Structure 1
Amino acid sequence: MHELGLQYECRPILPRSGETKTPEYTKLNPRQKIPLLQDGSFTIGESAAIVTYLSRTYSKPDSSLVPDDPAEFARWLEWCIFIVSELDSTSLYVMRRHGTNRGLAHIYGAAPGVVEKAGEYFRQQLHHVEVSLEDGRRYLMGDRFTSADILLTTCLVWANEYGVGICDNAMPYLERVTSRPAYQKSRAVNAAEL
Structure 2
Amino acid sequence: MNKKEIILWGVGTSRTIRPIWVAEELGLSYKVKPIGPRTGETQTDAFTKINPKQKVPLLQDGDFCISESPAICRYLINQYGLAENITAPACAQEKAREDEWLSFIYGELDETSLYVIRRHEALAAIYGEAPNAITAAKSYFQKHISVAENRLKDRKFLIQNKFGVADIFLTTCLIWAEGSQIELSNILTEYLSNMTERSGYKRARIKNNQKL
Measure how far apart 1:122 and its partner are: 0.4
Contact 1:97 1:105 in 2 (8 A): yes
2:197 to 161, 168, 179: 179
* 2:46 counterpart of 1:24: yes
Contact 1:56 1:65 in 2 (8 A): no
Gaps in structure 1 of 5+ consecutive residues: none
1:1-194 map, 5 Å: 1-60=23-82, 62-99=84-121, 103-134=122-153, 136-193=154-211
| CA distance in 2 between partners of 1:191 and 1:85 (Å) | 25
Measure how far apart 1:84 and its partner are: 0.3
Gaps in structure 2 of 5+ consecutive residues: 1-22
CA displacement 1:144-166 (0-9 Å, x = unmatched):
10111111111000000111122
The two structures, once aligned, show a CA RMSD in angstroms of 1.3
CA displacement 1:158-178 (0-9 Å, x = unmatched):
000111122221111111111
Measure how far apart 1:183 and its partner are: 0.4
| CA distance in 2 between partners of 1:48 and 1:65 (Å) | 15
- Which residue identity does 1:179 align to in structure 2? E
| CA distance in 2 between partners of 1:175 and 1:59 (Å) | 27
Measure how far apart 1:96 and its partner are: 0.7
Measure how far apart 1:64 and its partner are: 4.8
| CA distance in 1 between partners of 2:145 and 2:157 (Å) | 15
The 3-state SS of whatever aligns with 1:91 is helix
Contact 1:98 1:115 in 2 (8 A): yes
| CA distance in 2 between partners of 1:189 and 1:22 (Å) | 23
Contact 2:109 2:145 in 1 (8 A): yes
Q: Higher relative contact order at CA 8 Å, sep ≥6: structure 1 or structure 2?
A: 2
Measure how far apart 1:61 and its partner are: 6.0
The 3-state SS of whatever aligns with 2:34 is coil
| CA distance in 2 between partners of 1:174 and 1:92 (Å) | 17
1:112–1:40 CA distance, 2 compared to 1 (3 A)? same
- Which residue identity does 1:106 align to in structure 2? A
Q: Percent identity?
A: 45
Contact 1:126 1:167 in 2 (8 A): no
Normalized against structure 2, the TM-score is what? 0.85
| CA distance in 1 between partners of 2:103 and 2:137 (Å) | 18
- Identify which range, 123-132 or 60-69, moves more after superposition: 60-69
The 3-state SS of whatever aligns with 1:10 is strand
- Which residue identity does 1:83 align to in structure 2? I
| CA distance in 2 between partners of 1:64 and 1:189 (Å) | 19
Normalized against structure 1, the TM-score is what? 0.93
